[in-house]
Amino acid sequence: MSLPPDHAGFEAAFHAGLWTREAPRGLDPQRFSAYRNTVQHGLVRALAARFPVVERLVGAPFFAAMGRVFAATHPPASAVLLDWGQDFAAFLARFPPVAGLPYLPDVARLEWLRGLACHAADAPMIDPAALTRADPARLVLGLAPSVQAFASPFPALAIWQANQPGATPAPLPGGPQHALIARDPGLAVVVEPLAPAQHATLTALLQGRPLASAATSDPTPVLALLIRHRLIATVGELP
């Protein structure tokens, strides 16, 4: 027996062998396993690069096994691996072996949002003085594409921080936790804790709501963060 002679048949048979224990007909199983290993290892390492704290929390051997399941069931849709992993948090929430770590999907979501912030489009930054020239009651802010709002019922932010290189062990706070995630002008990704009401304001601003209706409480702390990290791209006024 040998591989199908036609190009499409060959490719389908070779591909099928990458995700089973069976090498395609006509190929040395040991040699073929080198491809199975490089494909699976390569995808797992790409996933680990995107979700390093998830890997640290479950340990590298467990992550490798789990990553192979994810890669087989949710393979990247394109060669742009920066775009791969959007479904990882939802996958973790349904993956029975990690059911005992209920905060894990939120840690994954935080890491995903950091990636979005890191690679989001560049945007021009307004002069903060423009804010003072507009009528506060009619102000509409356009935020930089890197700005993300994060919320978790768990202390996911503290867990993430405690698992950064060089972090010193500290008692974990309780949940929930909220944060603003964005890219600052130095191109570093920043993660700023928010109070729940501030998170609500940020979420409303991200939806394009005018500042006056976005803020259910004093908007100053959120505005201060947005100005400090230069995350306001446009300032408009309602007609």
15 counts as binding another protein under rule CB under 8 A: yes
By CB neighbour count within 10 A (0-12 exposed, 13-18 middle, 19+ buried), where does 129 fall?
exposed
Residue positions counted in the chain: 239
Dist CA 180 CA 231 (whole Å): 11
Q: Which stretch binds another protein (CB under 8 A): 42-50, 169-177, 205-213, 230-238?
A: 42-50
Which of positions 181-200 make contact with another protein (CB under 8 A)?
183, 187-188
170 counts as binding another protein under rule CB under 8 A: no
78 counts as binding another protein under rule CB under 8 A: yes
43 counts as binding another protein under rule CB under 8 A: yes
- In 3D space, the residue among 212, 191, 193 whose CA is nearest the CA of residue 201 turns out to be 212
Interface residue with another protein among 20, 22, 38, 238 (CB under 8 A) is: 38
121 counts as binding another protein under rule CB under 8 A: yes
Distance in Å, CB of 215 to another protein, minimum: 29
Helices 196-206 and 220-228: angle between axes, nearest 10 degrees: 60
Indicate the residue among 51 and 84 with the shorter CB distance to another protein. Answer: 84
Q: Where are the alpha helices (DSSP H) in 150-215?
A: 156-162, 196-206, 211-214
Interface residue with another protein among 60, 75, 172, 216 (CB under 8 A) is: 75
Dist CA 25 CA 73 (whole Å): 24
In angstroms, how far apart are the furthest CA atoms of the chain? 78
Indicate the residue among 181 and 211 with the shorter CB distance to another protein. Answer: 181
119 counts as binding another protein under rule CB under 8 A: yes
82 counts as binding another protein under rule CB under 8 A: yes
Residue 223 CB coordination number (10 Å):
20
Residue 87 CB coordination number (10 Å):
13
Sites of contact with another protein (CB under 8 A)? 2-3, 5-8, 10-12, 14-15, 18, 26-28, 30-35, 38-39, 42-43, 46, 75-82, 84, 118-123, 145-146, 183, 187-188
